[in-house]
Amino acid sequence: MTALPVFAGFGLQGRRALVTGGGRGLGLAAAAALAQAGAEVTLAARSQAELESACAAIRAAGGVADHLVLDVTDSAAVTAAIRERPPFQVLVNNAGMNRPKLLVDTLDEDIDAVFALNVKATFYVTREVARSLQAAGLPGSIVNVSSQMGHVGSPRRTLYCASKHAVEGMSKALAWELGPAGIRVNTLCPTFIETAFTAPMFADAAFRQFVLDKIALGRLGQIHEVMGPVVFLASDASSLMTGSALMLDGGWTAA
């Protein structure tokens, strides 16, 4: 009888996962998906009320979740918080922001805020999680939520594109640095997803049409469509994948 190869599967039982920006939107979807796959999930964000509500919902659905009130742009706070806990074998760096403006209207304050959250916070959290994993001799999977804008350019998004291109470069370098320790680093690159955060953007009919014209599938992404890719990257199903960008862009970058 032919010996069949064995599929590692998508299960995350026995693994601890940390999701930043986990109280709502894409972060909450990622946390819920990881919990459904069997991980013990910690949701990190600044709003305690949102975190408590999100954790309660995950537990009500049968998952295991706790929360961590944390400003991920505060390096010392990140270090202290993560060192107090056992190692996280899955990290989803989801916390991020955008301030779409023309270059000539972009303030120094905008540059500082976007890079502080999109780039520096990702560095801070990844650094501390990697330290913990290496000290414990454990493998891990780090998923940096980037964007299709980490691969292309777009009007009024010079600052955002710059920050996400930085995340892409950081992730590729980390794949080489952390690979020998069995720690994989990949990016997830969504197109525009319909959430409460993006709703005001799409109130502008011209902008909505501009976006739809760029997506081969002809529609916006839905929040649940992020969940499977997150679990794939976190699990052993993607065990040979590191330094890669998983495009979740409906074909935007295929043009």
Average pLDDT over the chain, rounded to an integer: 97
Q: What is the pLDDT of residue 221?
A: 97
Residue holding tokens 């992020």? 226
Give the integer Cα–Cα distance in Å for 172 and 177: 9
Contacts of 134 (CB under 8 A, 6+ apart): 181, 183
Who has greater pLDDT, 198 or 20?
20
pLDDT reported for residue 197: 78
Whether 146 shows a pLDDT value over 90: the answer reads yes
- What's the whole-number mean pLDDT along residues 56-64? 98
Q: pLDDT band at 191, cuts 50/70/90?
A: very high
Q: Kindly tell me if the per-residue pLDDT of 201 is higher than 90.
A: no
Residue 20 has pLDDT above 90, yes or no: yes
pLDDT of residue 195: 86
Percent of residues, the chain, with pLDDT higher than 70:
100
Q: With bands split at pLDDT 50, 70 and 90, how would you rate the model's confidence at 243?
A: very high
Cα-Cα-Cα-Cα dihedral sign, residues 26, 28, 33, 39: positive
Answer yes or no: 160 catalytic. Answer: yes
User: Which burial class, exposed, middle or buried, applies to 103 when counting CB atoms under 10 A from its CB (0-12, 13-18, 19+)?
Assistant: exposed
Please give the pLDDT value at position 198: 86
- H helices of 61-120, where? 75-83, 108-115
Q: Do β-strands 40-45 and 16-20 pair in parallel, antiparallel, or remain unpaired?
A: parallel
pLDDT band at 171 (very low <50, low <70, confident <90, very high): very high
Q: How far are the Cα atoms of 32, 76, 112, 118, 139 from residue 17, in angstroms, in the given order?
A: 11, 21, 28, 20, 13
Place of tokens 């804008």: 149
Q: How many CB atoms lie within 10 A of CB 69?
A: 17
Using one digit for the tens of pLDDT, what is the confidence trace for 216-236?
Answer: 999 999 999 999 999 999 999
Examine the pLDDT at 196 and tell me if it is beyond 90.
Answer: no
Distances (CA, A) of 235 to 38, 97, 241: 11, 27, 10
Average pLDDT over residues 112-129: 98
Cα dihedral 129, 96, 20, 243, rounded to 10, equals: -40
Which residues on adjacent β-strands are paired with residue 67? Answer: 43
Given a contact cutoff of 8 angstroms between Cβ atoms, the answer to whether 141 and 238 are in contact is yes
Where exactly are the structural domains of the chain? 16-246
Distance CA 19, CA 10 (A): 18
Closest CA to 234 of 14, 69, 4: 14
3-state SS class at 143: strand
Strands 140-145 and 90-93: parallel
Question: Hey, what CATH class is 16-246 in?
Answer: alpha beta
pTM for the model stands at 0.97
Active-site position among 88, 160, 232, 252: 160
**What pLDDT, in 10s, does the model give residues 81-95?**
999 999 999 999 999
Tracing tokens 């998906």 back to the chain, one arrives at 33
